[in-house]
Amino acid sequence: MVRFTVLASGSKGNSTVVCGGRTRILVDAGLSCRELFRRMKLADEDPETLDAIIITHEHQDHVNGLAVTARKLGIPVYFTEPTHRAWMRWLTPRRQMTYAQWLEQCRKQAAEREAEPEVTVLEASAEESDPEEAGQEEAEIDCQTPAAETPQPANVEPGPAGEPVAPEPPSNKPPSMKEDPTWLPAVEYFRAGEPFSIGDIAFSPFTIPHDAADPVGFVLSAEGVRMGFATDLGYIPPNVKEQLRNLDLLLLESNHDLEMLRDGPYPWSVKQRVLSRVGHLSNDATAEFLSSAYDGQAAYIILAHLSENNNLPELARVAAERALLGRASLLANRLLLAEQHQPLSAIRF
Ligand SMILES: [Zn+2]
Ligand SMILES: [Zn+2]
């Protein structure tokens, strides 16, 4: 059984659970850990059974709960290398890090993981329970203390009588969020254009045009079901059109209505960014794709990442319905709208 459950979609947080065979993956972790778990339970998914988290890009609405969730569950995070690096920089903004220093930090974290390979879910939960109780947002503001500024106890220091003090035994706990907010139980890299698998789910990652370090979309397949995933892109270039074929499910951005964005509350610079070739897809751009390059094969089309300020669900729906005119039926091109504030019912194949 394949299940596809959008937990949240929009500029305040994005996250989807995909289950195929014996594997369960969280695509993006843009809500607080607590909220992710709450929504998974609402959607009848058990967070404890997740096998991994995979990240499309480092914008906050895709990674907000990442570190706490990965630590709590003790599961690996899949990134592209530039996205991992950009995410680490985002969490330690006051710390200047050269590429060499970044590599060194990755090596150090890998050694820490090596030293304590069996972080159980229970230990990880206890570790993070306080920040979670205090609320994810606060925890993450706390987490922005640069690791370099955290006082490090020296291992050997002369005691008052000049006697050396015994070195502290090596800690067998992972560093706390305060000590190292970028620490993760395990990190795996993938590259756009190079397919790979996590358990029973195959991923085909592709580059999308967006103002992030190395943003990607995916086609996921499991048990012969193909699911396309493309949000946060300024336009749909040929490589993305190529990928979004022969799908059973297509989750596609329909971010804004052009007029609402032009007349809306955003400052001009932000409007320019959203409208740019590395911004977000408008309802019209999505409709243009659906009426031309799209092959009409998907059983489900989910419109996603709708702006709450610059769009209305009805506008997005009507634009897509017009584009799909004559092609929508109970078996093909059923149109759904992903929501910001509640999960969509699971789609099952
Ligand atoms: Zn986004
Ligand atoms: Zn983004």
- Average pLDDT of 282-300? 97
For the segment 295-311, the average pLDDT, to the nearest whole number, is: 97
pLDDT tens profile 68-87: 999 999 999 999 999 999 99
Q: How many angstroms does the Cα of residue 336 sit away from the middle of ligand 1?
A: 19
pLDDT, tens digit, for every residue of 259-273? 999 999 999 999 999
The yes-or-no verdict on residue 120 having pLDDT over 70 is no
Q: How far is the CA of 59 from the centre of ligand 1 (A)?
A: 6
Q: Report which bound ligand comes closest to the CA of 57.
A: 2
Counted residue by residue, the chain has a size of 349
Q: How many CB atoms lie within 10 A of CB 152?
A: 8
Distance 62 CA to ligand 2 centre (A): 7
Ligand sitting nearest the alpha carbon of 233: 2
> Ligand 2 center to residue 60 CA distance, Å?
8
* C-alpha of residue 79 to centroid of ligand 2, in Å: 15
pLDDT single digits (tens) 176-227: 888 899 999 999 999 999 999 999 999 999 999 999 999 999 999 999 999 9
Report field, pTM of the whole predicted structure over 0.95: no
Backbone angles phi, psi at 190, to 5 degrees: -135, 170
Distance 58 CA to ligand 2 centre (A): 7
Q: What is the pLDDT of residue 95?
A: 73
% of the chain beyond a pLDDT of 90: 73
* Confidence grade of residue 127 (pLDDT, cut at 50, 70, 90): very low
Q: Vertex 229, ends 228 and 235: CA angle to 5°?
A: 110
Distance 62 CA to ligand 1 centre (A): 6
- Take residue 198 and report the two structure tokens written for it: 């996590």
* Ligand lying nearest the CA atom of residue 340: 1
How confident is the model over 40-55, as pLDDT tens digits?
Answer: 999 999 999 999 999 9
With a CB cutoff of 8 Å and minimum separation 6, the contacts of 3 are 17, 18, 19, 20, 45, 346, 347, 348, 349
Compute the distance from residue 327 Cα to the ligand 1 centre, in Å: 29
Q: How far is CA 255 from CA 17, 208, 219, 232, 264, in A?
A: 21, 15, 20, 8, 14
CA 101 / ligand 2 centre spacing (Å): 26
Ligand closest to the CA atom of residue 307? 1
For 134-184, how does the pLDDT look when each residue is reduced to its tens digit (9 = 90+)? Answer: 333 333 333 333 333 333 333 434 444 445 555 555 566 889 888 899 999
pLDDT, tens digit (0-9, with 9 covering 90-100), for 234-259:
999 999 999 999 999 999 999 999 99
Mean of pLDDT values over 297-315? 97
Ligand 1 centroid, distance to 66 Cα (angstroms): 14
User: What is the structure's pLDDT at 170?
Assistant: 56
Q: Which residues surround ligand 1, an ion (CB under 5 A)?
A: 61, 232
Q: What is the pLDDT of residue 148?
A: 34
Residue 124 has pLDDT above 60, yes or no: no
Cβ atoms 281, 303 nearer than 8 A: no
Dist. CA 322–CA 95, nearest whole Å: 50
pLDDT, residue 326, reads: 77
Residue 319 has pLDDT above 90, yes or no: yes
Mean pLDDT over the full length of the chain:
87
Ligand 2 centroid to residue 301 C-alpha, Å: 20
Q: Higher-confidence residue: 94 or 21?
A: 21
Looking at residue 321, what is its pLDDT?
96
Q: Report the alpha-carbon distance of residue 19 to residue 50 in Å, rounded.
A: 9
- DSSP state, 30? -
The pLDDT confidence band at residue 117, using thresholds 50, 70 and 90, is low
The ligand whose atoms approach the alpha carbon of 211 most closely is 2
If you measure from the C-alpha of residue 109 to the centroid of ligand 2, how many angstroms do you get, rounded to a whole number? Answer: 27
- Give residue 118 CA to ligand 2 midpoint distance, Å: 34
CA of 59 to the centre of ligand 2 (A): 5
pLDDT at 283 over 80: yes
